[in-house]
């Protein structure tokens, strides 16, 4: 991905909407992708406890924003 706000970052953010962590994987950030996917799916799996579901939702939004704002020049 070239820079923040690029078309690649928009695609990565859209990927995260459907599958948390996929956008980071598209950007080549494997560890970030795994961490986001585990936190989000773990939180959603424990939806009946309410608090983990809220944490999962926050992590899901964070994953989308993180993919959209990623700047390859800083990493």
- Structural domain range at position 65: 7-74
**CB distance 41 to 59 below 8 Å:** no
Is 1 inside any structural domain?
Answer: no
Does residue 28 lie in a domain region? yes
| Residue 7: per-residue pLDDT | 75
- Number of domains within the chain: 1
pTM strictly above 0.85: no
Residue 47 located in a structural domain: yes
- 59 located within any domain: yes
Residue 2 in domain: no
- Given this model, what pLDDT does residue 4 score? 56
Residue ranges in the chain whose pLDDT is less than 70: 1-6, 74-75
Residue 37 lies in a domain: yes
**The predicted structure's pLDDT at residue 64:** 94
Q: What is the pLDDT of residue 15?
A: 92
User: In the chain, count of helices (H) and strands (E)?
Assistant: 4, 0
For residue 14, how many other CB atoms are within 10 A of its CB? 15
């Amino acid at each position: 991905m070239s820079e923040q706000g690029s078309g690649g970052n928009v695609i990565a953010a859209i990927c995260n909407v459907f599958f948390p962590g996929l956008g980071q994987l598209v950007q080549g950030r494997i560890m970030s992708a795994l961490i986001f996917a585990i936190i989000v799916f773990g939180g959603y799996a424990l939806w009946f406890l309410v608090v983990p579901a809220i944490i999962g939702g926050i992590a899901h939004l964070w994953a989308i924003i993180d993919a959209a704002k990623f700047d390859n020049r800083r990493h």
